[in-house]
Structure formats: C-alpha cells, structure tokens
A and B are shown apart, each in its own frame.
Chain A
Amino acid sequence: MATTTSSFLNRPEVRTWGPPIALFLIGILLVVLGTIPSWGKVQDLQSDIVAEQDRIVALNEKSRQLLDFSDQSIEIDKQFTVFDQAISSESQVPELLTQVQKISVACGVKVTTLQFGGEKEKTSGKLQEVRLQYASESSFSRLTCFLAAIEKASRLIEMESLRYSLSVNEDTGAQIVTAQSTLLSYYTPTPQLSPDNPLTFSLSDERFLKNIELLKEFKTY
C-alpha cells in the first residue's frame, strides 16, 4: 500500500501538478471553511458590540437616574405611602374589608354581607382588580352618605353595580333600605425589576403632580 502511494506520488505528472493544485484546493478550503464562517461571526460580533455599547449607555443613564431618586428617597417614600393608600400593594388587599367596614360604620350603615368575590387581571398585569360582594341595611340618607364616602375614600373603590330596595318594618313601621352592591378595588403587584427596563418616571411629571393634588382631597379610613 505504501509502495503504491509512494509510486503514485513519484509519478512525474503528480510531482509537477500536485503541489499547485493542492495549494489551490487548500486555499479554497480556507475560504469556504474558514473565511466565510469567520466573516459571518465578525458581523455578528460587530452588531453585538453596537448593542452592548447601547446597553451600557442605557444602563449608565438608569444608574444615574436611580442615584438621583436615591437622593430623593424621603420624598419617594412619602409619595409611595400616599399612592399606596389609593391603590394598594398586593400584601394590603385584605385591608380593603376593614376599610369598607369603617366607611359603613362612619355613615351608620349596617353591613350584612362583605366578602371577596374573585379577581380579574387588568391592563397587562400592572393593575389587578379585586371585587367585594357587599350588602347592607340602612336608611336612604345613610346609603347616600356611604356612596359619597366610597367615592371620596383615599382607597379607590368603585361600584360596579348597585341595587337598593325600600321596605317597611311592619312592627316598627320604620323604613329600611336594603342595598346590594359589587365593589371593585385595585392593587398593583410587586413590580418585576429588570436592569434593561428604562425608567420613564419623574417626580416632576405633570400628571403625577396633578394626582398628588387629587389624592389630597380624599379621606383616609
């Protein structure tokens, strides 16, 4: 076998044409297997570098913003507490029952039913709804007081439906307003932090400042 190979390599035409053809083929192989894939990788790396540079700029900006916010942490804590009363965090959802109870008591309304009635997601997970089934007995003026108080409560509570009926106690002759309602309140889940999510919030944002003024008009229960 070795003799056959050796005799093949010693043939004059192989010795003459073999080296240039071999070099040419090796050159082709280098281009096809080395240069072309490497060029593809180079282009990928170049776009990765541009993306990484942009990311660093964005991260740097976010870091600077957070440093600014950190300097204003007292104000942020204060405003967070105020807004948290209006739209609570997830952990404070059960307090809704206590707050509705307090509003009812403040208006002299007797609560007969108060229970959670299911949740439904709203606005892409940043805001969640929580419903309460509410029933009460009172007079018309007290029910009116309750509605007004709900609408002015610092914890944002909406009425999804209200049905009331008037009945007369045959023994005492007193009028009783029996109300049934579905109350709707909201909470925000704990935000998912991602270093690549930019911060668009500003304490001097006009809408935010307007909301601060609005919340001052609400009563805390």
Chain B
Amino acid sequence: MVERKEIELIPKEIEAAKSKDTLVRRVRLFGFLFFLVSLTIFGGIFAFRLSLATRLAGLEEDSAREVASIAQFAEVESKVLGLENKSAALTKILAQRDYFSSVLAAVAASQPANLKVTGVTIQKDSVLITINGETASYVTLASFLQNLVDDGKGGKLFTSVLLSSVNQNNAKGTAEFVIEATTKKDGLKR
C-alpha cells in the first residue's frame, strides 16, 4: 500500500508543475506576441503617417509654387474679375431699370391742346403715376383721361386712370386736377 501511494503522488505533482509551466510559457508567449504585434502595428502606422506627412509637405510646396505663379498675374486677374462683375451687374441693372422717359412720352402723346400738365410724380418700381394739371374745359379733361388709356396714345403704357381730385380755380378760370394713372406691370422696363 505504501509503495502504491508513493507511486501515485509523484506523477500528480509533476503533472501540476508541468501544466503550470505550460501555462506560464503560454502566458509569456501571448504577452510577448501581443507586445510584438502592437509594436509592429504602431511602427507600421507611424511609418505610414510619416510618409503621408512627407507627401503632404511635398504637395503643399507644389501648391505654393502654383499660388506664386498665379500671383504673377494679379493685375490680369483683377481686370478679369472686374469685367465679370461689371458684365453681370450690367445685365441685372438693365433688366431692372425703369425708363421714366416713356412716362413723359405717354403723357405728352395723350395731352390735348387746351390742357396743361403741371406736374408728374414717378417712383421706381411703382405702377402708380401721379399727374397734375389744369384745363379750362371739362370736355378736354375727359378727352385727356380717355387718351391716357387709348392704345394709340397713352394706353401703350397705362392700363387705368383715376381722377382723384378736381378743384375749380375761379381766379384763373380753370379746373386743377390730379390723376392717378396705373401702368402695366413692368411697363416702364424694356
């Protein structure tokens, strides 16, 4: 019995020691390999980063050369940009411009002989034109109102007219009137 016990105990201790030794070796191997892999990845990425930084620096030098080359043409660029701005602005300004001379032309074309236009008020982007005047005859005033919307006269520009006031001036023997004429939409534009 004694012999059997001794025979059973010795292999178990050796086995435990061996398995611990194996575990220690595995842990050491894992630790070393993990460190090695981490170091390799870090080194690789660091080297890649350095190469990218070098490449970027080279590209920035190329850009700086191009910028310097462009700077030589500063005067030409300034004129080209100026031309571009002015041309774009010209198109816009002419498209938005109101031609006030067409109002005077339409009023003059509608004006009967015995009627005097004493004032006109025009505002940009407004369809309402105020016309002041005086006449000795209501028939002439009616004719003027009719002419303002007549297609062959002021009707080319005005769509409607409103006689907003008439005052009899006994001293002069005339009727002083105020007309509010409405132009076509964008009627003052060309």
Contact = CB atoms under 8 A, between A and B. Distances in A.
Interface in B80-99: 80-94, 97-99
Interface stretch (A59-67, A97-105, A110-118): A59-67
B56 A45 contact: yes
A188 B86 contact: yes
Contacts of B71: 195
Interface string A101-133: 000000000000000000000010011000000
Interface in A14-64: 16-17, 19-24, 26-28, 30-31, 34-35, 38-39, 41-42, 45-46, 48-49, 52-53, 55-56, 59-60, 62-63
A11 interface: no
B59 A49 contact: yes
Given A35-B45, A162-B122, A188-B85, A63 B31 contact: no
B143 to A, nearest CB: 19
B41 to A, nearest CB: 5
B79 A76 contact: yes
Contact of A24 (B31, B81, B91): B31
Contacts of A27: 31, 34-35, 37-39
A221 interface: no
Q: Give the contact-size bracket for chain A.
A: 35 or more
B124 A53 contact: no
B127 interface: no
A151 B67 contact: no
Nearest to B96: A158
Contacts of A21: 27, 31
Interface stretch (B5-13, B46-54, B161-169): B46-54
Contacts of A200: 84
A23 B91 CA distance: 74
Given A76-B76, A127-B89, A201 B84 contact: yes
A52 B59 contact: yes
Interface in A165-221: 165-167, 184, 186, 188, 190-191, 193, 195, 199-201, 205, 207-208, 211, 214-215
A59 B70 contact: yes
Given A27-B38, A195-B70, A53 B85 contact: no
A76 B80 contact: yes
B120 to A, nearest CB: 6
Secondary structure dominating the interface of B: helix
A135 interface: no
Contacts of A10: none
Q: Is the interface of A mostly helix, strand, loop or mixed?
A: helix
B119 A208 contact: no
B170 interface: no
Interface string A59-102: 11011001101100100110110011011010000000000000
A211 B76 contact: no
A1 B29 CA distance: 32
Contacts of A193: 74, 77-78, 81
A151 B87 contact: no
Nearest to B24: A16
Given A156-B93, A191-B78, 4 more contacts: A159-B100, A188-B85, A190-B78, A193-B77
Interface of A: 16-17, 19-24, 26-28, 30-31, 34-35, 38-39, 41-42, 45-46, 48-49, 52-53, 55-56, 59-60, 62-63, 66-67, 69-70, 73, 76-77, 79-80, 83-84, 86-87, 89, 123, 126-127, 140, 143-144, 147-148, 151, 156, 158-167, 184, 186, 188, 190-191, 193, 195, 199-201, 205, 207-208, 211, 214-215
